[in-house]
Structure 1
Amino acid sequence: MRTAVHTSVRRGATGAALAALVLGGGAVACSQGTDQSPEMSPAAAVAKAAKNTDDITSLHYRMAGTVPEEGKVTAEASMSMKPLAMSMKMTAADSGTDGPVEMRLVDGAMYIGGGAQAAKEMDGKSWIKFDMSALGADNGMNADQLGGGEADKNPAAESTFLTGSKNVKKVGTETVEGVKTTHYKGSITLAGLRKTLKGEKKATREQREKSLEQYEKMGLDGFTMDAWIDGESRTKQFRMRGTADKGPLDMTVTFLDYNKPVTVKAPPAKDTADLAEMMKGAQAG
């Protein structure tokens, strides 16, 4: 049973960990905005969009691309910041699962759903629950290993990284998801980004530092970044590309909605296996 648990958790955790790659920063928009003012410099436009992330309370977004070691990934998610809750469905081409992996974060617990395949391995239970505060190193598997340590990242923070570019430029105007935007691009180093964190608010700084650590673990020193900003100075979409020690990174995040109510419910108890209890039982045995 322990082997099956670890196998299922590992597969589900792939989706959870991948979510961390983009849970970290950016501005969003869904309005039919107009193009950026030609009088605004690229650096000023990017800085203004970054500032507008402060009023974001919830997100609905889509991500697609390639992640080091995991290959091609697609996902769609909704999350609220206060109270912290998230629901995500993700498909990783190399995960070995028979369909999307679903992850829910609600009331301080993370739930990873593996569908019918997980149910076959866990006595009919298709969901695994773990309380991030209950798991620790003594259990042989902790929340960080399962991706739980990254689940509280805010995907409205990473696209602000373009403010760390010293060569940001305007590429042109484009329509993204029916919204008129101005396309900006620049190159960024992780070392340079760290320097920009010094003047940020504590909460903002901590969120961005988490994301930087994730990229450092990949062996990424820097990347190029594109951002599509609408006429209300909110980023509609951003793309990050770079070459890490563990493979290429090429991820695009498109914001579909924001500041709308987000409701996340825990899966039915009858379909859920509590990982903390299972680990305790295995240790007692």
Structure 2
Amino acid sequence: MNKSAWKRAGVALTALAVVTGVAGCQDGDAKAGGAKAGSTTTKPATERQTQSLSDATKVIQAAYRKTSAAKAAKVKMTMSMKGVGAESGTVEMTGVQGWAPASMDITMKGSLLSAGSPGAPEQMRMIMLDQVMYVDMGAEQAAEMDGKRWMKLDMKAAAEASGDAALQKQMTGGLDNMNQDPAQQLALLLDSPNLKHLGPEKVNGLETQHYKGTLTFEQMLKANESSKLLSQQEHDQLVASMKKAGLKGYDTELWVTEDGYPARMDVGMTMAQGTMTMRADYSDYGTAIAVQEPPAKDTVDLFAMLKELGKG
């Protein structure tokens, strides 16, 4: 594989790291079916306010059940980072995603995609299936790679080859985080101690009801599957580090349609050095999607190639 091909592979890995890293901040494995209406408020308010919170909880619980059952939707997601880490910019993802099992076929574009990589592609298509990521390297690159335009990033195979169970769970969990299952987002929102209904609002031409809540970093960390790999000392150090960085919590907003499905979800976090925001617009819930892996004859397995180079 020539220098140009290695450069494109580096861009693909960078894009994957950016997206899974940001997405991982919001992933959870909570189950809304077990949430109780009274668990969304920490102290009583007036009778009218308490009733409002209870109604908001019921709406989101119902949305969780419908979203879980739908198992797929079309999505347009935009992530923006400013001053967080080494890079700032945006990345937009458009396509379809499924959950239970997790799958995705999206096209990515934006400044974060090419950050630090002059000459990187303006957009890139990614397919995720069975914890394997496939990246379309483009027709020009395919001409330099015996017609093979898809780069295969098999996180599961690489993790299994390591023989480290903890590493395997951590690596494959990153791809699950990227999938951004909207049902999990709803489940997390039910844990907000200040969940409230903001009123009606039109989103993408649809009549919706607007809800908002805030979650602490500890709540998000508790819901994140990968956090179970941390020792108590590592957990405490991570929480202390986030507090020192100025992270107070995650602001989450939700717009629910008259049919009871999320039309839009916003998640934002503010730290001393910058901000991160994510907006996801969903449509066509229950759409029949058939995410398929590219033909083997059109695919280059990156980790298999690296393994062979290691032997050399």
TM-score for both structures, normalised by structure 2: 0.68
Q: CA deviation at 1:119?
A: 4.1
Q: CA deviation at 1:55?
A: 1.6
Q: CA deviation at 1:248?
A: 1.4
- Going by fraction, where is helix more abundant, 1 or 2? 2
Give the aligned partner of residue 114 of structure 1: 137
Alignment of 1:1-285 (within 5 A): 1=1, 7-20=7-20, 21-22=22-23, 24=27, 41-67=55-81, 68=84, 69-96=87-114, 97-106=120-129, 109-116=132-139, 118-119=141-142, 122=145, 125-136=148-159, 144=171, 148=175, 150-151=177-178, 154-193=181-220, 206=225, 220-244=247-271, 247-285=274-312
SS of the counterpart of 1:183?
strand
* Bigger Rg, which one: 2
CA distance in 2, matches of 1:257, 1:147: 26
Q: CA deviation at 1:121?
A: 6.9
CA distances 1:58-108 after superposition (whole Å, capped 9, x unpaired) = 121111130343521111131223454321111131332222111112355
* Moved >6 Å (runs of 4+): 37-40, 207-210, 215-219
CA distances 1:6-60 after superposition (whole Å, capped 9, x unpaired) = 533331134434543448479xxxxxxxxxx989633443343334433231121
Distance 1:262 1:225, change over 3 A: same
Moved more, 89-98 or 268-277: 268-277
SS of the counterpart of 2:310?
helix
Q: CA deviation at 1:260?
A: 1.7
CA distances 1:226-261 after superposition (whole Å, capped 9, x unpaired) = 111122332211101112476411111111122121
Q: CA deviation at 1:262?
A: 0.8
CA contact (8 A) 1:49 1:160 kept: no
CA contact (8 A) 2:89 2:110 kept: yes
CA distance in 2, matches of 1:209, 1:239: 26
CA contact (8 A) 1:99 1:115 kept: no
Give the aligned partner of residue 34 of structure 1: none
CA distance in 1, matches of 2:157, 2:263: 37
TM-score for both structures, normalised by structure 1: 0.73
CA distance in 2, matches of 1:208, 1:178: 39
Q: CA deviation at 1:193?
A: 4.3
Aligned partner of 1:274: which letter?
D
SS of the counterpart of 1:144?
helix
Q: Which runs of 5+ in 2 are unaligned?
A: 31-50, 115-119, 230-234
Higher relative contact order (CA 8 A, sep 6+): 1
Moved more, 223-232 or 102-111: 102-111
Q: Which runs of 5+ in 1 are unaligned?
A: 27-36, 198-204
SS of the counterpart of 2:184?
coil
Q: CA deviation at 1:180?
A: 0.8
Moved more, 8-17 or 162-171: 8-17
CA contact (8 A) 1:224 1:241 kept: yes
Distance 1:135 1:70, change over 3 A: farther
SS of the counterpart of 1:267?
coil
Q: CA deviation at 1:162?
A: 2.1
Q: CA deviation at 1:5?
A: 5.7
CA distance in 2, matches of 1:237, 1:180: 12
Percent identity (aligned) = 27
Moved more, 252-261 or 117-126: 117-126
CA contact (8 A) 2:210 2:256 kept: yes
Aligned partner of 1:103: which letter?
M
Aligned partner of 2:104: which letter?
M
